[in-house]
Amino acid sequence: MKYYVVADVHGFYDYMVRALTEQGYYTDEEPHKLIICGDLFDRGKQSRQIEQFVLDLLEKDEVILIRGNHEDLLVDFIEKLPTYAPMLEYTHHYSNGAVHTVRDLTGTTLTKMKMNPEEVAARMRQTDFYKTILPAMRNYYETEHLIFVHGWIPSVANGFGGNASDYKYDPDWRNSDGAGWYFSRWYNGMLAAHQGVLEPNKTIVCGHWHTSYGHANFEGKGEEFGKDEDFSPYRAEGIIALDACTVHSKKVNCIVINDNELQRH
């Protein structure tokens, strides 16, 4: 099977389409699927376009969706919206974009979100994203030689998110519980890979952490953010990282991979 793979689109539909077009996705007449390694929304302003794009692919069974940490953030926001509403502009959900995604997908206003949070939450639960896309997301997808995740595979680590370090491999990661997968979606896969958390005989394809981190810290190529920054896909032993930090770089990374399918998870 041929796979086109993107990650961390974050509401930038046009940039995603440009990347897919450059790789020949729309003119490819051979069987193929798109894999999206998490974080569909929460930065750009084209949530509705992405929602419809994904729905169309789901109907044709041409997309594999990996759940990202921003999907977790969005669910948390909706489930606790009445609690967050009084100070909405000062929450991490506002700064991380979940508030704007809900506004885009429900057609509501910030004022209504604050005054009638239960109504807005109920409306969000009726969106195609909540009813169809979110249930279709999985923790990981595996083929003969590849594993697709958002942050990284569940591991033993000290700290959380960007502060996590001292990663240690867990051979039973596929059977990790919900908490294990939740934490893994925040991991820096490039750091974890260089600390030895790799799956034998497999390459892990991930998103979540800007690829300039790997180029700067492990290849000595430029700065993470600066005039010589490099947001192209990062490749090393056992890893391909894709997050182009689209809100900053104005690009989405897309790679094309051929591999044999396995039984779905």
Its pTM stands at: 0.96
CA distance 94 to 101: 10
* DSSP state, residue 238: T
**pLDDT digit string (tens) for 143-182?**
999 999 999 999 988 888 777 788 999 999 999 999 999 9
pLDDT at 264: 55
pLDDT at 160: 80
b/e map of 144-162 (b: 16 or more CB within 10 Å)? Answer: eebbbbbbbbbbebeeeee
pLDDT at 157: 84
pLDDT at 163: 75
> Helix (H, G, I), strand (E, B), or coil: what is residue 66?
strand
Where along the chain do its domains lie?
2-68+137-258, 70-135
Tokens linked to 225: 């953010």
CA distance 12 to 43: 7
For helices 117-125 and 98-106, the axis angle rounded to 10 degrees is: 70
4: phi then psi, degrees, rounded to nearest 5: -95, 130
pLDDT at 68: 98
Strand order in the sheet with 146-148: 141-142, 146-148, 203-206, 239-241, 234-236
Structure-derived torsion over alpha carbons of residues 203, 245, 159, 36, reported in degrees to the nearest 10: -50
pLDDT at 265: 46
245: phi then psi, degrees, rounded to nearest 5: 50, 60
Q: Which residue has the tokens 């509501």?
A: 108
- H-type helices in the chain, by residue range? 13-22, 47-59, 69-79, 81-84, 92-95, 98-106, 110-115, 117-125, 128, 134-136, 178-184, 189-194, 212-218, 246-249
Architecture of the 2-68+137-258 domain: 4-Layer Sandwich (3.60)
- H-type helices in 167-245, by residue range? 178-184, 189-194, 212-218
User: Could you report the average pLDDT of every consecutive run of 10 residues in the chain (265 residues)?
Assistant: 98 98 96 97 95 98 98 96 92 92 95 95 97 98 98 90 84 96 96 96 98 97 94 98 97 97 70
> Helix (H, G, I), strand (E, B), or coil: what is residue 256?
strand
Closest by CA to 4, choosing from 209, 205, 244, 181, is 205
